[in-house]
Structure 1
Amino acid sequence: MKSCAWLYGFLGLGVLFLSTSAIFVKLAEAPSGIIAFYRLLFTLLFMLPVLLLRAEERKQLSCLTKRQAGLAMISGALLAIHWVMWFESLRYTSVASSTVLVSLQPLFSIFFGVLFLHEHVTKIGMAGVFLAIVGSAVVGWGDFRISGAAFWGDVLSFASVGVISLHFLFGQILRRELDVVPYTFVCYASGALCLAAYASLTGQAFSGYALQTWRCFLGLALFATIGGQCVFNLLLKYLPASAVTMGILGEPVGTILLAFVLFGERIVLQQGIGMLCILAGLWLFFSIKDQAGKN
């Protein structure tokens, strides 16, 4: 079997783009539901020309079974719930802490993969997972003791982990049957409708925002979603959800560096050690996985 190095390269690129997400959210002066809604709405608008120009994708979209459509819509609803919870967490805790907690997804994805898809992870692979998670905990540990508000933000982040892991599980199942564009379009359309309903029910305004905020909406769509989230949807046909979510553990490294450059958030020794643990865990997990693929 050929090396999966190119898949991991695309995964790394997706993680790099996803690392901009927390930055755009922090710069956008809008409610969480509105940020998530326009993130998906603009992504759908960017995807629409691709869908219209490719006959195979249009055919798949028109021939979706009730099961496929239902699972894709549930997947989109889960994504919407995850984003609202995570964006809201950023109101209470730091960019670093919130992103680190959300990045604990691999444990949930591995559990769901074993339970529903009968996947297997080696002991060495699990050692890599736990090493990266330890690194994540080291990075964000300081924020857990700052205040009650920071703790509430951490709780929201952690709760969103299980939600996004289920989203990726549904995506892995459907990507075995559908191309990335039809699946992603239905998923994001469902998510956008859920977010529109949420924003309306909570009285969040859909207009009246500053130009910088609209630019953040576009940045979230182009970089964090198309460059990040859509790349993950593409890879779910070739990699298990556990591998994709494991790759996302690299997001805190990129986000912390960006937060340092843009917001002046200091990178202390504790965070540096944690980042090294994350990178070492990722190397251990994917190097063992790649060797297994060659055998």
Structure 2
Amino acid sequence: MKPFPAVAFGALLLGGMAIGFAGILMRLSDVNPIASAFWRMALASPLLWAWALSTADQDSAKGLRTDLDKGVVLSGLFFAGDLAIWHLALHYTTVANATLLSNMTPLFIAVWLFIAYKARFAPTFLAGMAIALTGAVLLIGPSASTSSTQLMGDALGFFTAVFYAGYQLVIKDCRASYSTARLMAWSTTISAIVLLPLALLMPGPFLPADAAGWWPLLGLALIAQIGGQTVIAYAFAHLPASLASVSLLIQPLTAAVAALLIFGERIGRLQVAGGALLLCGIYLSKRGSQ
């Protein structure tokens, strides 16, 4: 039996925690929601390309691809769809609803792996996934709304999970033939290209009002995209997609703690219990994947 890739698992959790700050940074920005998603991609792309070009010789020596193929294009399209739909969902529903529904990704990952590859999951893993999802519901649920006028936003939030599941599965496949640097440089650039016209068409400012307005956008690029998605792409090469998707549920827990520290948003006992269940579920999922 191969040893469990503890370094990759730790990197995955750190990446998920970094992405947990995305909603906080988006709230601090003064551009329209899809523009903040575009600038996240656009500002990260040059740094990722600098990294990718600096390792081009190493990629060639290892026999890794540097060109653009269908899988890489799909990763950029899926992630652009994920960001655009989630930000659009925020116009119709609460942040809590959109966050909760978009974190149903593990369900779609498990169903796809079962249908496409006849994958079988250990009972411990399934129990861990169920506990982690229950924890996510308890963590975010107290802030959620059940207003019928927000049905469209809730549907969009749920649809986001489909796009993010597709993104995770494609990234997992692409990491077998691409380095992290090259894959993320291509994927992030494609997402920026797709998001640009949507950001320009959406009501609200496209550019920050002043120089200080660029700081949250730089934070999105450096923390959420490079420190988050790029680290996660590295981890996906070493971990099962099912375990990775469950472990990324660390995002809403990070967001809740960050909101407490930055905005003073209180965390109730039910949310604390949800956070504890979420962590227990991730641990069990890890045990069930070994």
TM-score for both structures, normalised by structure 1:
0.88
The one-letter code of the counterpart of 2:81 is I
Q: Call closer, same or farther: CA 1:262–1:177 in 2, change over 3 Å.
A: same
* Residue 118 of structure 1, CA deviation: 4.1
* Residue 63 of structure 1, CA deviation: 5.4
- Give the whole-Å Cα distance in 1 for the aligned partners of 2:64 and 2:215: 30
Q: Is the counterpart of residue 16 in structure 1 residue 17 in structure 2?
A: yes
**Which aligned runs of 4 or more in structure 1 are off by greater than 6 angstroms?**
none
Aligned to 2:286, the other structure's residue is in SS state helix
- Give the whole-Å Cα distance in 2 for the aligned partners of 1:58 and 1:5: 24
Contact kept, 8 Å, 2:96 with 2:141, in 1: the verdict is no
Q: Call closer, same or farther: CA 1:76–1:22 in 2, change over 3 Å.
A: same
Structure 1 match to 2:7:
6
Cα deviation per residue 1:200-236 (whole Å; 9 max; x = unaligned)?
Answer: 3446654353334311111011111111111111112
Q: Is the counterpart of residue 105 in structure 1 residue 105 in structure 2?
A: yes
Aligned to 2:69, the other structure's residue is in SS state helix
- Give the whole-Å Cα distance in 2 for the aligned partners of 1:253 and 1:280: 13
Q: Superposed, which structure 2 residues align to 1:1-295 within 5 Å? A: 1-56=2-57, 64=67, 69-145=69-145, 147-148=147-148, 151-202=151-202, 205-289=205-289, 292=290
- Give the whole-Å Cα distance in 2 for the aligned partners of 1:44 and 1:193: 11
- Give the whole-Å Cα distance in 2 for the aligned partners of 1:184 and 1:150: 34
* Residue 29 of structure 1, CA deviation: 1.6
- Give the whole-Å Cα distance in 2 for the aligned partners of 1:167 and 1:18: 15
Among all aligned residue pairs of Structure 1 and Structure 2, give the percentage whose two residues are the same amino acid.
Answer: 25
- Give the whole-Å Cα distance in 2 for the aligned partners of 1:99 and 1:271: 14
The one-letter code of the counterpart of 1:47 is L
The one-letter code of the counterpart of 2:213 is T
* Residue 132 of structure 1, CA deviation: 0.9
- Give the whole-Å Cα distance in 2 for the aligned partners of 1:286 and 1:208: 42
Q: Call closer, same or farther: CA 1:57–1:168 in 2, change over 3 Å.
A: farther
* Residue 148 of structure 1, CA deviation: 4.3
TM-score for both structures, normalised by structure 2:
0.90
* Residue 122 of structure 1, CA deviation: 0.9
Q: How many corresponding residue pairs? A: 287
- Give the whole-Å Cα distance in 2 for the aligned partners of 1:168 and 1:42: 22
Aligned to 2:4, the other structure's residue is in SS state coil
Contact kept, 8 Å, 1:96 with 1:255, in 2: the verdict is no
- Give the whole-Å Cα distance in 1 for the aligned partners of 2:271 and 2:175: 36
* Structure 1 runs not aligned, ≥5 long: none
Aligned to 1:239, the other structure's residue is in SS state coil
